[in-house]
Amino acid sequence: SGLGGMVSVSLPVDSVRERLGRWGERLSVAAVNGPSAVVVSGDADALEELLAVCEGEGVRARRVPVDYASHCAHVEAIEDELRQALAGISPGSSSVPFYSTVTGGVLDT
Q: What is the pLDDT of residues 58-96, one digit of tens each?
A: 999 999 999 888 888 888 888 899 899 999 999 888 999
Contacts of residue 69, defined as CB under 8 A and 6 or more positions apart, other chains included, come to 3, 4, 5, 6, 30, 41, 42, 43, 75
Strands 27-34 and 37-43: antiparallel
- The DSSP output letter for 98 is E
- 91, part of any domain: no
39 within 8 A of 6, measured Cβ to Cβ: yes
The count of domains in the chain is: 1
Q: Residue 1: is its pLDDT beyond 80?
A: no
Contact 5, 41 (CB under 8 A): yes
Single pTM value for the model? 0.74
Residue 12 located in a structural domain: yes
Model pLDDT for residues 81-91, shown as the tens digit of each residue: 989 999 999 98
- Say which CATH number the domain at 33 has: 3.30.70.250
Q: CB within 8 A of 37, min separation 6: which ones?
A: 8, 9, 10
- Residue 35 falls within a domain, yes or no? yes
The span from the CA of 65 to the CA of 5, in Å, is 8
**Spacing of C-alpha 99 from chain mean position:** 24
Residue 102 within any structural domain of the chain = no
Domain residues for the domain of 31 are 4-80
**pLDDT of 33-47, one tens digit each?**
999 999 999 999 999
**Residue at 88 is within a domain:** no
Please tell me the predicted confidence (pLDDT) of residue 62. Answer: 97
In a domain, 103, yes or no: no
Q: Is residue 108 part of a domain?
A: no
- Identify whether 106 is part of a domain: no
